[in-house]
Each structure stands twice: as C-alpha cells, then as structure tokens.
Amino acid sequence: MILSHLLHLEGIESIVVESRSREWVEARVRAGVLEQGPVDLLNATGLGERMRREGLVHEGISLHFNGLQRRIDFRELTGRAITVYGQQEVVKDVIQARLGAGGQIVFEAEDVSVDDPASATPKIRFRLDGEPREIACDLIGGCDGFHGICRPSIPEGVLTIYEREYPFGWLGILAESKPPSHELIYANHERGFALASMRAPRISRLYLQCAVDEPLENWPDERVWDELHTRLSAGGPVELEVGRVLQKSVTPMRSFVAYPMQYANLFLAGDAAHIVPPTGAKGMNLAIADVHLLSRAMARFFKNGSRELLDKYSDACSWRVWRAQHFSWWMTSMLHRFWGEFAAFDFKRQLAELEYVSGSPFASRALAENYSGFPLE
C-alpha cells in the first residue's frame, strides 16, 4: 500500500491486488514500532496526520534483569525516538489515502498468480467474484509476505536463501489492560523472555517466550497473566493490570533472507524477501525502507527509461537488511533463554552482557542507534 502511495505521488499508476477483505487487513494486529525514518516518511507523504495525533512517542526502552531496571534513553544517546503505532493503523491510513485519491485496490482476489516476470509485460492473473481477470504490467512489486506467491514465482536457482530457525516462539496477547510502563519493557528472566508493549493508553500487547510448537490450550488466561507478572518483575516489582484478553497466538521465530530481491521485472519487498525475529522491532520498518527505495527506482524507470536504480535495488537494500538481521539476532540471543547443555553458562553470560549494554554509554548508544533506526536514504 505504501509503495502504491509513493508511486501515486510520482504520477505513476498502480493496482494493488489483495487476497483478503479490506476488513481483514485493517483489523489484523501486527507490528507496532516505527523508527524515526519511517515516521518522517509517513509525515512527509501525507500519511501521518492520525499517527501524530494517536501514536505514542517513546524516547527509550527499559531492560529488566537480575534485579535491575535499566533505561536506554534514545533521545539522549541519538537524538531520535520511536513511535508506537500499530501496523494495522498504518494500513487503514494508506488505504483511505489511496481510495480517496482514486487508487485501484482489488480486495478478495482469488487464485492469484504471476505469469512470466522476465517478459516485457509480465501479467498478474486472478479471479474476482468468480470471473477471471488479468493485469498486464510493466513492473511488479512483490509485497505479499513470507507465504505469498511472488517469491515462488522466481525460477529455481536464481535466489540464495539464508535462514535460521530458533528453538522457541512468542506467545502474544492483546489485552484491555493499562500498560505497566509508559515505554516498552524487555525482560530477561530465568524462566524465559517477556515483553510489555502497548497499542493505546488502555490496550497492552504482551509477549512470553514459549516452545515453538506450544498449544494455546496450555496457556489459559490466568497462567499467562501469572507468568507475565513473574517474568516482567525480573528487575523488581512491576504493576501489571489484569484485563480481558482480546487475542492470543503463538508466533515462531526465524531469521530469513532471500537474495537477490529481484528477478527481471519482479521486485520483492518486506517479508517476501526477509524475516527478522520481532525482538528488534524491525519487520515493518524494513518493509517501508524497501519500498522507499523501490518507488524511487520505479519512478526513475518511468520518467526516463533508466533501469540503473532498478538493477541496484537488491544491493541498495542489502546493508540495511543485514544490519537489521544482526541487531534482531543479537537482541534475541541476549534476552531469551537457550536450554540445553550450556544453559547455565549462557544465562550468566546474558546477565553480564545486559549489565554492560545498560551500563556503558558506548554500548547503550549502539543499542539506541540500531533500535531507533538509521535515516532512510
């Protein structure tokens, strides 16, 4: 949706093809942290009015571990901040903007496929209300997520896949509960990781490290709240308000990169090209950074026929993708319990690392710089 909006601002026509309904995509709860760069981009392109009004600006995070509560002050260390504003809220804003400008969005498309992306006019085929449809394209932006159809449409042997799976997942809940802190809490506890976030002043988003194949029935609400209270108190007492659980799910953890992020006239962006563990809050931000570069490359192509930026798209994205992969892996490895032969050693090592990261201004600045994000190019 943001790619379509950015192209519209350049006077370039696009069609968004979506398999789900508008109601579904606007309601699905996903990421909620925006770096300074994406916030500036949304504001500069006319999408930031509601975000400025309703978004929660955070100037730091708290690390809870070993009886300590340490704050990392982003503003003091980097001059930047983050904004907590749910991905579904960004989706609502950009859909409204595109439809208000006469943009073309096809919802509830079925049997979507990409045909011959190497041709001069690749096609997207789908069914709508039972009728076959076809779009002849100049370029295709594959912004359809990890399980989408665009990456599998690239011929075998073109992509190199870099991947790592983690032996745990996140049990996440959305609850009617006042957040326990005005900023995010990252907790390292001997029982496992926990995170306290928020979506609104009275809506909390809370996570617990759990087994990757954990059945939800093993986690009744009472157990979830008890475990959250225990783990979030790793640095001392935390006031956690118990409220009605609105959503509950388990998300596996993985690191994934497909390179290159393009094949002929098909260009991958966001989760279609890369997945990061959510510990570093990078997923939505990487996707926005991708389409920022892709929109510029497409605009150059349509204005003067030059493929220079299109040809450099994968490499232009690569440094940020791998920086985010490293940061997300580092945060994950520092905060989660790894069970097995070296569990006791790893736990003590993590506590020492957290002590250093939160106690050294140089180490704190590295965390703050990566978390608040680098400027968009």
Catalytic residue among 58, 64, 292, 336: 58
Residue 229 backbone dihedrals phi, psi, to 5 degrees: -60, -45
Q: Are 272 and 142 in contact (CB under 8 A)?
A: yes
| Residue 342 DSSP class | T
Measured CA to CA, the distance from residue 317 to residue 261 in angstroms comes to: 9
Residue type at 64 in one-letter notation: H
Peptide bond into 260 cis (omega under 30): yes
Domains of the chain, earliest start first = 2-58+78-163+254-339 (3.50.50.60)
Measured CA to CA, the distance from residue 344 to residue 187 in angstroms comes to: 17
Catalytic residue among 207, 259, 313, 371: 371
Give residue-wise pLDDT tens across range 50-95.
999 999 999 999 999 999 999 999 999 999 999 999 999 999 999 9
For tokens 């490895």, the residue is 333
Catalytic residue among 282, 292, 313, 336: 282
The token duo for 223 is 């157990």
Is 371 among the residues known to form the active site?
yes
Q: Are 50 and 116 in contact (CB under 8 A)?
A: no
pLDDT category at 31 given cuts 50, 70, 90 is: confident
Is 186 among the residues known to form the active site?
yes
Q: Which residues contact 198 (CB under 8 A, 6 or more apart)?
A: 32, 56, 84, 179, 184, 204, 205
Model pTM? Answer: 0.95
For residues 102-129, average pLDDT: 96
pLDDT category at 334 given cuts 50, 70, 90 is: very high
Is 58 among the residues known to form the active site?
yes
Give residue-wise pLDDT tens across range 223-248.
999 999 999 999 999 999 999 999 99
Predicted local confidence at residue 16, as pLDDT: 98
pLDDT category at 360 given cuts 50, 70, 90 is: very high
- Taking alpha carbons only, the member of 125, 123, 98, 91 closest to residue 109 is 125
Tell me the Cα Rg of the chain: 21
